Amino acid sequence: MANVVLVVDMVRGFLEEGYPLYCGARARRIIPNVQGLLEQELARGSTVFFLCDHHSPDDPEFKMFPPHCLEGTAEAEVIPELARYHGEVIPKRRFSAFFDTPLEEKLSQLKPEKLIICGVCTDICVLHTVADARNRDYKVEVPVDCVASFDEKAHHFALEHMEKTLGAKLTSFRVSRVKLPKFEPSEAVLSGETADIYFARTIDILRHEALNPVATMEVFSSRAGILCG
DSSP string of the chain, one letter each residue = ---EEEEES-BHHHHSTTSTT---HHHHHTHHHHHHHHHHHHHTT-EEEEEEE-B-TT-GGGGTS-S-SBTTSGGGSBPHHHHTS--EEEEESSSSTTTTSSHHHHHHHH--S-EEEEEE-IIIIIHHHHHHHHHTT--EEEEGGGEE-S-HHHHHHHHHHHHHTS-PEEE-HHHHTSPPPPS---HHHHTSTTHHHHHHHHHHHHHHTT--GGGHHHHSGGGTHHHH-
pTM for the structure as a whole: 0.76
Q: What percent of the chain lies above the pLDDT cut of 70? A: 72
**Which is higher by pLDDT, 29 or 214?**
29
Q: What pLDDT, on a 0 to 100 scale, did the predictor assign at position 19?
A: 86
Average pLDDT, the chain: 83
Q: What pLDDT, on a 0 to 100 scale, did the predictor assign at position 215?
A: 47
Least confident of 57-66, 82-91, 130-139, 154-163: 57-66
Mean pLDDT calculated for residue range 100-112 = 97
Over 50: is that where the pLDDT of 229 sits?
no
Over 80: is that where the pLDDT of 1 sits?
no
Q: What pLDDT, on a 0 to 100 scale, did the predictor assign at position 51?
A: 97
Mean pLDDT calculated for residue range 190-212 = 59
Range(s) within the chain of domains with CATH label 3.40.50.850: 4-177
Q: What pLDDT, on a 0 to 100 scale, did the predictor assign at position 224?
A: 46
User: Check: CATH 2.60.120.10 for 4-177?
Assistant: no
Q: What pLDDT, on a 0 to 100 scale, did the predictor assign at position 74?
A: 82
Contacts of 208 (CB under 8 A, 6+ apart): none
Over 70: is that where the pLDDT of 100 sits?
yes
Position 175 confidence tier, pLDDT thresholds 50, 70, 90: low
Mean pLDDT calculated for residue range 123-150 = 96
Whether a cis peptide bond, with omega within 30° of 0, leads into 121 is: yes
Position 218 confidence tier, pLDDT thresholds 50, 70, 90: very low
Least confident of 92-101, 109-118, 159-168, 202-211: 202-211
